[in-house]
Amino acid sequence: MLPKKYTWLVLLSIISLNEALRVLVWFPLFSKSHNILGRGVVNHLLKAGHEVVHVTSMPQKAPLPNLTEIDLSSIEEAFKQDKESNEHFKLKNLVGQKNFGDSIFFLYLSYEINKVSLEHEAVQTFLADPKQKFDAVILEWFFSDFIAGIAPLFNAPLIWMGSTEAHWQVLKLVDEIPNPAYSVDLFSVKRPPLTFWERMVELWTLAKRYVIINGVVVPFEKRLYNTIFPDLAAKRGVTMPGYDDAVYNASLMYLYSHPSIGTPFRLPQNAKYVGGYHVDTEVKALPKDLQKIMDEAKDGVIYFSMGSNLKSVDMTENMRNSLLKMFSKLKQKVIWKFEEDLQNVPANIHLVKWAPQQSILAHPNLKMFITHGGQLSTTEAIHFGVPVVGIPVFGDQYVNTKSAVDKGFCISVTLAEDMSDDIYAAVQEILRNPAYKTKAKELSAIFHDRPMKPGEELVYWLEYVVRTHGAKHLRSPAVNVPMYQKLFLDLLLIVVVGSYVLCKIKQKVFGKRKADKPVKSGKKTKTN
């Protein structure tokens, strides 16, 4: 038993450990799926008793205790008015197109989204306020690094959130670039093991984007960083670190993935899988009409959704009608997330403008999920053990779908005007072959078999970072080593220069000896 004089110290330490933290959560993207991830982080932190300031384009309708929201919805409204960008994302314009994630357009778009969010008047006012203080800052990384400057404004530990499968662009922030011989690019259509040619393509893709990012994007980011943050820091009375020091100073990285779904990357100690934290711990009840449909469907139900960013209403008339005709041939009921009303819909098809996706996937009468292969949809499918027909369109959807195919719970179909026959064949194969559902259930069990639930782990590691003053002992030494040293280019330079010098010395020495050597005469002359 402790002496009385030490008891108050123990009580004080317990109180300090349980003290609520104040956390800044930065998820400004005007995308429903990204908002779901941001709100998931917020909800887990609030549940743990912490105070949260949430930067979001989609604020909650009703206020919550301990939650302050910085509303960036005006950015979403401005984007909606950009007809050219909106047309680019419509399904009918994406058929047959190369994955736009591997393009200059995407790099510009991601930079501009982050820039506009950071320059928003409400954000600037908030960041400049010296009264604002935080114990930790969580930033969603979306293909731009300069937002890392937010954390040092508050002298708070930086925690990145990688909202996709792990990949080289995000892992380089806390470790080093993974080997492209077995770690494909996020926008690749391939999965390991790779053939010789595929390895060359992955190496070229990495090298090309690395040069573009460092030669074009980073200079723009540094200019913006040095324009915005020093003025904000002066108003707060702090000194900003340089761009590189801010970007590579993360205490932790969350990865919205899990090896049961994606690639089992070799991760540094401060990178943690938290895939699935957004899934509700208790499944919400279905609306009465959907509950009735799913309960009474004697041959089961098929659910079809192209996600929140892609809309079925943007299909061409031919694609839409061919799918309606194809679905009408099925015995199963089909719930299709379709954003407008349609006339003459077949009796077995039920259109919904909004779908309670998790509740549908949780229903025991669901046979399969036809999806675009987004990270949240793929994660939810495995969470509930549902086999998948994947129709990837852009971004990380190709990687997600290919991974699901390789793991055995998915059949992939190429987005095309005439894809209805391929979807029908995939549906029939999954209905006929129980191996797909068996594999989905097996992977679901692995997905759930963790020491902690993903939401609890998210909170634990945030508290751990604060408790250990930035968790510097977990950081990889690789972030402090320049690329040329990692590749031993300095050694190569020494070898090349040394070889050149030795070659020149050799030429000079042996050339001089050859010049000094007496020349022998040809024939002896005869003397009298």
How many beta carbons lie within 10 A of that of residue 17, not counting itself?
A: 9
pLDDT band at 5 (very low <50, low <70, confident <90, very high): very low
The larger pLDDT score, comparing residue 87 to residue 234, is at: 234
152 and 250 in a single domain? The answer is: yes
Q: Which of 297, 462, 433, 307 is nearest to 371 (CA)?
A: 307
Residue 151 bridge partners (DSSP): none
Question: What does the pLDDT average to over 264-291?
Answer: 95
**Each residue's pLDDT tens digit, 351-362:** 999 999 999 999
CATH number at residue 295: 3.40.50.2000
Query: Which uninterrupted H or E stretch holds 390?
Result: strand 388-390
Report whether pLDDT(293) > 80.
yes
**Each residue's pLDDT tens digit, 49-71:** 999 999 999 998 888 999 999 99
> Which residue among 448, 470, 495 closes a domain?
448
**CA terminus-to-terminus distance, the chain:** 126
- Give pLDDT, residue 219: 96
- Give pLDDT, residue 77: 76
Helix (H, G, I), strand (E, B) or coil at 193: coil
- Residue 345 located in a structural domain: yes
259 and 307 in a single domain? The answer is: no
pLDDT band at 11 (very low <50, low <70, confident <90, very high): very low
Question: What does the pLDDT average to over 92-101?
Answer: 76
Q: Which of 103, 111, 174, 173 is nearest to 142 (CA)?
A: 111
Report whether pLDDT(516) > 70.
no
- Residue 338 located in a structural domain: yes
Query: Which uninterrupted H or E stretch holds 351?
Result: strand 349-352
- CA dist 315 and 321 (Å) reads 10
- Give pLDDT, residue 2: 47
Report whether pLDDT(528) > 50.
no
190 and 316 in a single domain? The answer is: no
- Residue 218 located in a structural domain: yes
261 and 306 in a single domain? The answer is: no
- Give pLDDT, residue 17: 47
- In the chain, % of residues over pLDDT 70: 91
- CA dist 346 and 329 (Å) reads 9
434 and 464 in a single domain? The answer is: no
- Residue 521 located in a structural domain: no
313 and 235 in a single domain? The answer is: no
443 and 468 in a single domain? The answer is: no
pLDDT band at 523 (very low <50, low <70, confident <90, very high): low
* Contact between 423 and 429 (Cβ < 8 Å): no
- Residue 3 located in a structural domain: no
Instruction: Tell me the two tokens of residue 167.
Output: 């990949």
> Which residue among 393, 425, 448 closes a domain?
448
- Give pLDDT, residue 486: 80
- Give pLDDT, residue 164: 93
Lowest-pLDDT choice from 79-93, 175-189, 292-306, 423-437: 79-93
- Residue 527 located in a structural domain: no
- Give pLDDT, residue 84: 54
227 and 316 in a single domain? The answer is: no
pLDDT band at 15 (very low <50, low <70, confident <90, very high): very low
116 and 167 in a single domain? The answer is: yes
- Give pLDDT, residue 19: 84
Instruction: Tell me the two tokens of residue 423.
Output: 């979807």
272 and 300 in a single domain? The answer is: no
- CA dist 358 and 415 (Å) reads 24
Domain count, the chain: 2
Phi and psi at residue 214, to the nearest 5°: -75, -30
Q: Which amino acid is at 86?
A: N
> Which residue among 424, 448, 472 closes a domain?
448
| 472: containing domain | 15-279+453-480
Q: Which of 337, 334, 168, 330 is nearest to 265 (CA)?
A: 168
Give exposure, 403-417, as e/b (b: 16+ Cβ within 10 Å).
bbbebebbbbbebee
- Residue 494 located in a structural domain: no
Mean pLDDT estimate for the chain: 90
Lowest-pLDDT choice from 80-89, 116-125, 444-453: 80-89
- Give pLDDT, residue 403: 94
- CA dist 267 and 476 (Å) reads 9
* Contact between 413 and 423 (Cβ < 8 Å): yes
164 and 252 in a single domain? The answer is: yes
The structure tokens 């460092």 sit at 214
The angle formed by the CA atoms of residues 12, 14 and 18, to the nearest 5 degrees, is 115
- Give pLDDT, residue 44: 98
- Give pLDDT, residue 145: 97
Report whether pLDDT(1) > 60.
no
- CA dist 22 and 132 (Å) reads 10
Report whether pLDDT(146) > 50.
yes
- CA dist 205 and 461 (Å) reads 34
- CA dist 405 and 403 (Å) reads 5
**Each residue's pLDDT tens digit, 338-394:** 999 999 899 999 999 999 999 999 999 999 999 999 999 999 999 999 999 999 998
Question: What does the pLDDT average to over 3-23?
Answer: 57
- Residue 6 located in a structural domain: no
Q: Which amino acid is at 40?
A: G
Lowest-pLDDT choice from 95-99, 181-185, 250-254: 95-99
242 and 343 in a single domain? The answer is: no
Q: Spell out the alpha helix ranges (H) of 192-338.
A: 196-212, 218-236, 243-247, 288-296, 317-328
